[in-house]
Structure 1
Amino acid sequence: MELQEYRAVLVETISETYPKYLQEKVVKKLEANNIISTSNVLLSEAEISLDVSDQPFFDQIRNAVEQNPDDTIRVIEELEYEYSYKYAVLFNHNSDNIEAKLMELVEGNLVNNLASEDFTFDYCSDNSESPRVIPTYKMINEEIDCLKFSKKVIGFLPVSGDNQRVVKYPIVVLLYKTEKVLEIRFDKIKGFLKNGDEFFYIKQIQWVSAWLQSKLDLELVAMNLVPIIEYTIPKESNDETSEVVVTAQAMNLASGSKAVLDTGVNDQFVLPLLGELKNLIRDNEELFNTNDETKEIKSKLTTFIFETEESSHLPWISLTWKNETKSKAVKVKFSFNYLGQEYSLLQYYGNNAEMERMNNVTKYLIENQREYLNQESE
């Protein structure tokens, strides 16, 4: 893909897929890098930038791409590592020298290096059966390396006339250096770009996984999140010391019936029915211990709760990572064995959780996986 075509795809991507808050984020970054000016302030010749004041966000970005493509593209591509991706999957792997293999690929021009002076723009793979794949490498910090895979996706709007849209769809892979763990993150894509394919996301995971296993010589094993989540969540619904609370879960009961429990806007994060029953027993401990009959009622209720939880299959569960600032709480839905796959799908919802907070969730899960496995081995 030549620069002119890449520019056109990038502009169309922003037009079709970037919500207003994300366009604003790009504008602020462009202004911070002195690529555009939105304030009507006259600058010196040494600081001269493109005046885009009083223009909508999209027009500001489009003009920057047209007038200063190199710097503008660089800003947008760096931001793609930090976006609030909606979905993620986690894998364990078997490699002890993944960094060395990665650097070999960079030196062999099989991976682009964002930090290289020769880097121009991301390589976009097409949808052919054997597409050329050249991801872009960036070191996030001392703990995390990142590869960004870019795919050219073509969709058709349900309108007459010129209805074809071509967008860039980035997928990032985070390699946790001190752990044998990698994470694939990707964003929600509009229905018309999926072309009715309900397995669109699975195919992207397979595409990226195949490259990782082939080029980095990895054996990927889906992180088994079911026991890790069970180990992670607090045993008592009122455990205020826990960093994580259950906010919703689906339950397939042994009887064949199904239920969805959701705290909704409940600030106390207490699940209805089971969570409320636990609290009822705890808050009325003295009453339940009044005599043999009340003790028997307590025993039956406790047994009912235990058996319901132990015998139920959980298709999915939602956890919230608490924060003193309520708007910064991170909510994640875990869909186990997503669409029949071995891996679980993490879905971030509610407030947009950018890279750092998403990284914190992953590190929390990694740490709990380590503790759980150590406990099992003992």
Structure 2
Amino acid sequence: MFNEYFTEEISIMPNFLKTKYIGAIRGLIKTAEFEKEKSQIEAIFAKGNGSETSLKEITASHNNLIIEAHKNIESSKSLKYSALYELDDDRTSEEIINLITSNNSFLDSVNTLNTPIQNLKATKLKDVIKFTFLLDGIRINDNVPIAIKTTYSVIVKFWEFGNSKKKFLEIDADNVATYFRLDKSNFFEQMITTIEEYLQSKFSLTLIPIDLFQTLEKIKEKAKKGELEDLPIASAQKMVLSSGSQAILDSNDAETIILPILGELRKLIEDNEELFSEALDVKILLEGFIQDTETMSDLPWVTFTWDNKIKSKKIQVKFVLSEYPYTLLNYYTHNKGRSGMNDVVESLLKEYCNNQDDGGEET
């Protein structure tokens, strides 16, 4: 069943990904596990029939090799968008994963959710589940609309923390070209919500969306107190005042960030402490204005930066605080693949648990 699915995927796979699979296969045949297949694979490559034909031939005749290459590539791949949930379920993560990926890892099509998707399949890749389905799109070529299809992936990862005894679930949506987004500005949120609803309706999982606003505010407080340790630093933020005015601050060095408009006023007070101590009534008025404006203002998004000291390791994540019950994570500066995403999510969930243990509550 996997061979049939993967052969179809090869036909519409972008060239850069085909090249990546060829590279992964070349690497695997150098290992002890697949050294017996080395000569046969090299013979396939020697035919010079192109990456698509070669991959299809390897898929047909060397099933274990192509599955291992697939697992390695997909499990280490970085995706663009994420949402986090608390998982209220007595079953272990392994039990849930096996349940979802049983029956040769192929599931029925989903027609009852907000976003209809075609040919939904679930595959276990190490410690994650990869949901794959087809998307329809229209590309304009010489003013002529052409119907096209592509495979699209959503990854589900389970998290457990021994100290807190809490379980979590992460849903990650892949990026895709604009002509597959169904003309919807909230396409990625809908992809996440689609899988969320499917897991709840099909497998009776209880998923509680996590709003990270309070967690992010706690991280900011720790930054001010010098208690960051390995936590990220806020590096950009947008603010919409009750009057409708908007301000965005982006700190390139991510050393510190001052809240747009209000942060500048705070810094003004701090830098002129002696002057304001002689005019306490003015200081009180300004501090009252800052507090009232913060309470009445909207913060649509904020960006945090991990590992800013080393450019190659830097990860920037934009947290979108939208009308959805969860906070959307948008990874937009990121070179560390799946391991980088794991670092981000682990640090956020640990801080979230600390906030819960301290009596805090996400709202």
Aligned match for 1:191, one of 170, 173, 178: 178
Aligned match for 1:148, one of 110, 117, 130: 130
Q: Kindly indicate whether residue 195 of structure 2 is the aligned counterpart of residue 212 of structure 1.
A: no
Partner of 1:12: 12
Distance in 1, Cα, partners of 2:208 & 2:200: 11
Cα distance change, pair 61–237 in 1 and its aligned pair in 2 (3 A): farther
Aligned match for 1:292, one of 278, 298, 315: 278
Q: Kindly indicate whether residue 319 of structure 2 is the aligned counterpart of residue 334 of structure 1.
A: yes
Deviates more, 1:129-138 or 1:174-183: 129-138
Partner of 1:50: 42
Count how many residue pairs are aligned between Structure 1 and Structure 2.
Answer: 339
Distance in 1, Cα, partners of 2:331 & 2:42: 36
- The answer to whether the Cα contact below 8 Å between 2:22 and 2:55 also exists between their aligned partners in 1 is no
Distance in 2, Cα, partners of 1:124 & 1:50: 35
Partner of 2:295: 310
- The answer to whether the Cα contact below 8 Å between 1:157 and 1:192 also exists between their aligned partners in 2 is yes
- The answer to whether the Cα contact below 8 Å between 2:10 and 2:56 also exists between their aligned partners in 1 is no
Q: Kindly indicate whether residue 173 of structure 2 is the aligned counterpart of residue 182 of structure 1.
A: no
Cα distance change, pair 156–270 in 1 and its aligned pair in 2 (3 A): same
Distance in 2, Cα, partners of 1:261 & 1:238: 24
**How far is the alpha carbon of 1:184 from its aligned partner?**
0.3
Partner of 1:358: 341
Distance in 2, Cα, partners of 1:155 & 1:28: 29
| Deviant stretches of 4+, over 6 Å | none
Cα distance change, pair 27–321 in 1 and its aligned pair in 2 (3 A): same
Q: Unpaired runs of 5+ in structure 1?
A: 36-43, 113-122, 141-145
Q: Deviations over 1:138-171 (max 9, x none)?
A: 443xxxxx21111112222112679333221111
Q: Kindly indicate whether residue 89 of structure 2 is the aligned counterpart of residue 95 of structure 1.
A: yes
Secondary structure at 2:155 match in 1 = strand
**How far is the alpha carbon of 1:23 from its aligned partner?**
6.1
Query: Which amino acid in structure 2 is aligned with residue 334 of structure 1?
Result: F
Cα distance change, pair 100–259 in 1 and its aligned pair in 2 (3 A): same
Query: Which amino acid in structure 2 is aligned with residue 195 of structure 1?
Result: L
Partner of 2:26: 31
**How far is the alpha carbon of 1:345 from its aligned partner?**
1.0
Distance in 2, Cα, partners of 1:61 & 1:190: 23
Cα distance change, pair 227–262 in 1 and its aligned pair in 2 (3 A): same
Secondary structure at 1:210 match in 2 = helix
Cα distance change, pair 367–2 in 1 and its aligned pair in 2 (3 A): closer
- The answer to whether the Cα contact below 8 Å between 1:98 and 1:216 also exists between their aligned partners in 2 is no
- The answer to whether the Cα contact below 8 Å between 1:80 and 1:170 also exists between their aligned partners in 2 is no
Q: Kindly indicate whether residue 238 of structure 2 is the aligned counterpart of residue 247 of structure 1.
A: no
Query: Which amino acid in structure 1 is aligned with residue 234 of structure 2?
Result: V
Normalised to the residue count of structure 1, the TM-score between the two structures is 0.75
Q: Kindly indicate whether residue 52 of structure 2 is the aligned counterpart of residue 62 of structure 1.
A: yes
- The answer to whether the Cα contact below 8 Å between 1:318 and 1:334 also exists between their aligned partners in 2 is yes
- The answer to whether the Cα contact below 8 Å between 1:126 and 1:153 also exists between their aligned partners in 2 is no
Partner of 1:40: none
Distance in 1, Cα, partners of 2:100 & 2:304: 38
Distance in 1, Cα, partners of 2:225 & 2:256: 8
Q: Kindly indicate whether residue 139 of structure 2 is the aligned counterpart of residue 157 of structure 1.
A: yes
- The answer to whether the Cα contact below 8 Å between 2:318 and 2:330 also exists between their aligned partners in 1 is yes
Q: Unpaired runs of 5+ in structure 2?
A: none
Cα distance change, pair 133–5 in 1 and its aligned pair in 2 (3 A): closer
Query: Which amino acid in structure 1 is aligned with residue 239 of structure 2?
Result: M
**How far is the alpha carbon of 1:251 from its aligned partner?**
1.6
**How far is the alpha carbon of 1:185 from its aligned partner?**
0.2
Aligned match for 1:200, one of 174, 187, 212: 187
Alpha carbon RMSD of aligned pairs, Å? 3.5
Secondary structure at 1:135 match in 2 = strand
Distance in 1, Cα, partners of 2:149 & 2:141: 15
- The answer to whether the Cα contact below 8 Å between 1:50 and 1:64 also exists between their aligned partners in 2 is no
- The answer to whether the Cα contact below 8 Å between 1:125 and 1:133 also exists between their aligned partners in 2 is yes
Cα distance change, pair 304–99 in 1 and its aligned pair in 2 (3 A): same
Q: Deviations over 1:296-350 (max 9, x none)?
A: 544444443333323322121111123431231211111123xx32222110102
Mapping of residues 119-158 of structure 1, within 5 Å: 123=106, 128-129=111-112, 133-140=120-127, 146-158=128-140
Partner of 2:310: 325
Distance in 2, Cα, partners of 1:300 & 1:27: 66
Distance in 1, Cα, partners of 2:158 & 2:5: 31
State the identity %: 23
- The answer to whether the Cα contact below 8 Å between 2:234 and 2:254 also exists between their aligned partners in 1 is no
- The answer to whether the Cα contact below 8 Å between 1:124 and 1:151 also exists between their aligned partners in 2 is no
Distance in 2, Cα, partners of 1:104 & 1:46: 30
**How far is the alpha carbon of 1:219 from its aligned partner?**
1.5
Distance in 1, Cα, partners of 2:92 & 2:37: 43
Cα distance change, pair 247–46 in 1 and its aligned pair in 2 (3 A): closer
Query: Which amino acid in structure 1 is aligned with residue 160 of structure 2?
Result: K
Secondary structure at 2:218 match in 1 = helix
